[in-house]
Chain A
Amino acid sequence: MALLEVNNLHLSFGGLQVLHDVSFSVEKGEIYAIIGPNGAGKTSILNCLGGFYHQQKGEIAFAGDDISHISPDRRAASGLARTFQNIALFRGMTVLDNIKLGSHVHLKTGLLGAAFYWGGAHREEMKLRDEIEDEIIDFLEIEHIRKQPVSTLPYGLQKRVELARALAMRPQILLMDEPVAGMNAEETEDMVRFILDIQEERDLTIIIIEHDMRMIMDISDRIMVLNFGRKIAEGSPLEVQRHPEVIRAYLGTKK
């Protein structure tokens, strides 16, 4: 059984058809890419998966359960983490505070205990903090900026902090919306290395949207191509590159 199964997704805003009958499934441990020209509906798919948009028709099943009618926060808690196209860090907070918010869902202490920060809550928090520090911060090489407010960091590092925050949620599926958009070559290379390492070491399933074709072709196991809200191709990087529909969507047709 696939980890994520999307069947016949239809999404429209008023008269505008954004997604038309899109189906796909993602296997555990896979890096699955969604590509397509601007406005093809890529981010809309992520928003449907995350619960921010509600499809008119179709189902989304995560680990066998239909999650179509579950609220975004509960989807996140059940193991769907996400990074955003436009960085969505909590700007006033430090890097560490941002990352700790990722593990927020795993703090079990009840409202009252946590509200007054008594013993149990404190210990739990310290343990969590150590784990996060050891694993994720080291892993993403952001040790030196832990205490800095995120708003002072360069773009590439902010993206990395956002990834760290998503990892702190210990998700089963990581949804990445244009992780290397606007990055220079070096930053892109770092990010690619991190994504591959994450996938390998944590056996994480990654769904990625990106315009950087070289990167996508390098790292993806499978690719789905969207155009005007319809799925026009799916397959390995090689298959997709040769697909006539894909070539037409990207390069246009000769009149």
Chain B
Amino acid sequence: MEFFLLLLTSGIAVGGVYALIALGFVLIYKATSIINFATGEFMMIGAYIFYTCSVLVGMPAIPSFIVVMAGAGLLGLLVERTILRHMLGQPTISIVMVTIGLSSILTGVAEMIWTSDFKSFPPLFPRAPIIVGDLIIRSNLFWGFVVAMTTVAIFALIFKYAKVGVAMRATAGDQMASFSMGINVRSMFTLAWIFGAIAASIGGLIIGNIGGVQPNLGGIGLKIFPVVILGGLDSIGGAVLGGFIVGIVENLAGGYLDPLVGGGAKNVAPFVVLVLILMVRPYGLFGRKEIERL
């Protein structure tokens, strides 16, 4: 039982971080209907910016964190303005291919700037493990979870209540009607990319803090994909739940199945669950029914 609870809590903690990265996909998809396959690389760049600020420049954690957000936002802005704006009206598959190409470019650029060596951060959070009853939770997992959930909550509040959030939801719903409401649809697209990149970069920062950073950190983005599909591509709540499901399933499979099959179950189990859920609900747990499948 204790082993189960241990797996469950670390599953939830990791799941929270997955949810945040999934949000990186969702924020962009919601407004623009584009699946950004470079989300993982946005994470990786975020982690490297943090590494640069805190290790190379020697800045304290909080200012470094702010630089990460600003840098990621700028990256999102540049990508949208210089590349994707010209792709407006092109077939979805072409745009998706562009984002895949972008992911390779970003990986290459990261290798050129920071080399392919493994880099690690100074610890971001207090070292002492968190003890709840009999459970011991690793401190960077716990604090990572807290930061991730706070970020998700802030984005959710913006979407629900703030003027820009409401305008972005409207843009996602009906572009022509949004234009007719005086909403500047194009700047909403830009904003979606900025938000998406910021969400992903904070996720990358947390992952980098747990396991260090190297240029192929973005591969985790693919692991997040089941989370996004599971929750429905356009649902923030779905991303959160999907994150938890994948985090928990992964940890339980790692704890119980890996010793039996000799490893690997941890990586496969989320995809098995994904396929099973999609067989019952092809549009994800919370997605709109008319959603496009790729």
Contacts and interface: CB of A to CB of B under 8 A. Distances in A.
B interface majority secondary structure: helix
A73 B179 contact: yes
Given A90-B170, A117-B157, A74 B182 contact: yes
B157 A101 contact: no
Interface in A35-78: 50-52, 71-74, 76-77
Given A109-B163, A114-B163, A114-B164, A104 B181 contact: yes
Interface string A86-109: 001111110001001110110101
Interface in B139-192: 157-158, 161-167, 169-170, 173-174, 176-185
Nearest to B185: A73
A111 to B, nearest CB: 6
Contact of A105 (B161, B177, B181, B185): B181
A150 B157 CA distance: 22
B162 A88 contact: no
B179 A104 contact: no
Contact of A72 (B158, B163, B165, B179): B179
Nearest to A52: B176
Q: Classify chain B's interface size.
A: 20 to 34
Nearest to A90: B173
Contacts of B173: 90-93
A65 B89 CA distance: 30
A76 B174 contact: no
A91 B234 CA distance: 14
A89 B166 CA distance: 14
Interface string A13-42: 000000000000000000000000000000
B162 A81 contact: no
A82 interface: yes
B166 A52 contact: no
Contact of B182 (A89, A90, A105, A117): A105
A116 interface: yes
B182 A77 contact: yes
Contact of B166 (A51, A97, A116, A169): A97
Nearest to B165: A115
Contacts of B163: 104, 107, 109, 111, 114-115, 121
A2 B184 CA distance: 28
Interface string A203-218: 0000000000000000
Q: Which of B161, B162, B182, B183 has the most CB of A within 10 A?
A: B182
A109 B167 CA distance: 14
A73 B174 contact: no
A74 to B, nearest CB: 7
B164 A88 contact: no
The 7 A-B pairs at the shortest CB distance, nearest first, are namely A105-B182, A88-B177, A114-B163, A77-B182, A72-B179, A76-B182, A90-B173
Given A115-B163, A169-B182, 6 more contacts: A50-B180, A71-B179, A90-B170, A101-B166, A102-B181, A117-B161
11 contacts: A73-B182, A76-B180, A88-B176, A90-B174, A91-B173, A101-B183, A105-B182, A107-B163, A114-B162, A117-B157, A169-B182
Interface of B: 157-158, 161-167, 169-170, 173-174, 176-185
